[in-house]
Amino acid sequence: MATRILIFGLFIALIGGLLIGSMGLVGDALPVPADASALAHDSCALPCFFGVTPGVTTRTQAIDLLSKTVHATENNAASLSFALTDDEGRQSLASINFGADGLVDSVRLIPVDQFANAATLGDLLATQKPNHIYHTCAYMLPLRFLITFGANDELVAEVFPAGDLAPDSRITLFDLSIATSRSLYDATSSFGCTVKTDWLGLAPLWKYFTVDKPPV
- pLDDT tens-place string over residues 24-82: 322 222 333 445 788 888 878 888 899 999 999 999 999 999 888 888 888 888 999 99
Cα 204 to chain centroid, rounded: 17
| Average confidence (pLDDT) over 71-97 | 88
pLDDT band per the 50, 70, 90 thresholds, residue 212: low
- Find the range with the poorest average confidence among 33-47, 98-112, 197-211: 33-47
Instruction: Classify 110 as helix, strand or coil.
Output: strand
**Residues 6+ positions from 143 with CB-CB distance below 8 Å:** 135, 136, 160, 161, 205, 209
CA 175 – CA 179 distance, rounded (Å):
11
Mean pLDDT, the chain, rounded, equals 77
pLDDT surpassing 60 at residue 215: no
| Average confidence (pLDDT) over 77-98 | 89
**Percentage of residues in the chain having pLDDT higher than 90:** 21
pLDDT tens, position by position, 134-144: 988 877 788 88
